[in-house]
Amino acid sequence: MRCFCVILLVSTLAQVVGARPQRLRPEDQLNDRPIIGILTQEVTDHEMKPYGRTYIPSSYVKYVESGGGRVIPIRLNQTREEHENIFQSINGLLLIGGASDLETSDFSRTAQIYFRLAIKANDVGDYFPIWGTCMGFQLLTFLVAEENLLSKTIAENVSLPLNLTSEASSSRVFEGFPPELLRALTEEALTGNFHHYGVTEQVFKGSQKLSGFFSILSTNRAENGVVFVSTMEGRKYPFYGVQWHPEVNRFQWNPLYNFPHSRNAVRVASLLAEFFVNEGRRSLHHFSRVEDEDRALIYNLNPLYVANFTAYEQVYFF
């Protein structure tokens, strides 16, 4: 569950700022069969290595499915041409948490391909959302800032309420939340945190590239006393990040971990899953053939029970 990230990735993305994505209009065409690509994560835990080189915890798959979407796994050992074809076939990308070394890993290299494709697509009106959780959040900040802005923001195995900013009330992420649930987010420990690193509020605001690209929707105070950014959304692009783990609220149960399971915690996870999948509905990408779509879906694979040696209940290995 830890997201230990050493980010030394090199990127050449120029700072991009502009008008925020438009609210959905009744006449906008929607895709009612959205498919979200989940980038596989590299296996680093010794206990998991016998089962595969990369993996996706089933909690992320169930999370997308609970929001009304389907999932295809994006393997890391594919060519750029194959990734470009996948990009044209899916309706959003989920970057999960994990423990890859972002200096040398295939995870970082592949994520950067999709990030650049998404920037280019959105610039010409081809809507494509990206969501980053924990390490995925950290990677998004690096790709935008073009430098490693991480520092120690220890929040290991702890659930926290959110300190919502003034921008949260007008955000797309929280737009569908009823007032009582937004209030609960600030008063109850509804967000599970499992990280040692993050971006502090001071550093975030001090980066012109980062603060120009993303709005800060919430912050939290780490165990070592620093304030870190915990939720963000793109000002111009439909890119979103949470330093916490909404998927655990509904789909992870290991009693050794502080997974929030209250009624409000479940409601938070449900609304966020629906939000991101609904963002994917605005993408009209699709497979050229039904047969190719059927073969790509994660339904063709079976997860392995791993609760006896990991924090997860089930994991897909590749």
Mapping DSSP onto H, E and C, the string for 87-143 reads HCCCCCEEECCCCCCCCCCHHHHHHHHHHHHHHHHHHCCCCCCEEEECHHHHHHHHH
pLDDT in tens, the chain (318 residues): 545 443 444 344 444 444 556 665 544 789 999 999 999 999 999 999 999 999 999 999 999 999 999 999 999 999 999 999 999 999 999 999 998 877 678 999 999 999 999 999 999 999 999 999 999 999 999 999 999 899 999 999 999 999 999 999 999 999 999 999 999 999 999 999 999 999 999 999 999 999 999 999 999 999 999 999 999 999 999 999 999 999 999 999 999 999 999 999 999 999 999 999 999 999 999 999 999 999 999 999 999 999 999 999 999 999
Positions marked catalytic: 134, 245
The answer as to whether 22 is a domain residue is no
Strands 130-133 and 239-242: parallel
Domain span at residue 288 reads 35-317
Whichever domain contains 159, its CATH number is 3.40.50.880
Q: Are 268 and 258 in contact (CB under 8 A)?
A: no
The answer as to whether 2 is a domain residue is no
Question: How far is 111 from 136, CA to CA, in rounded Å?
Answer: 9
Question: How many structural domains does the chain have?
Answer: 1
Say which DSSP state 200 is in: B
Question: How far is 252 from 260, CA to CA, in rounded Å?
Answer: 9
| Structure confidence at residue 99 (pLDDT) | 85
- List Cα–Cα distances, 186 to 163, 225, 261, 267, in angstroms: 6, 18, 16, 14
pTM score: 0.91
The answer as to whether 256 is a domain residue is yes
The answer as to whether 8 is a domain residue is no
Is residue 157 within a helix (H) or strand (E), and if so which, with residue range?
strand 151-160
The residue whose two tokens read 């599970």 is: 192
The answer as to whether 218 is a domain residue is yes
The answer as to whether 128 is a domain residue is yes
The answer as to whether 14 is a domain residue is no
The answer as to whether 186 is a domain residue is yes
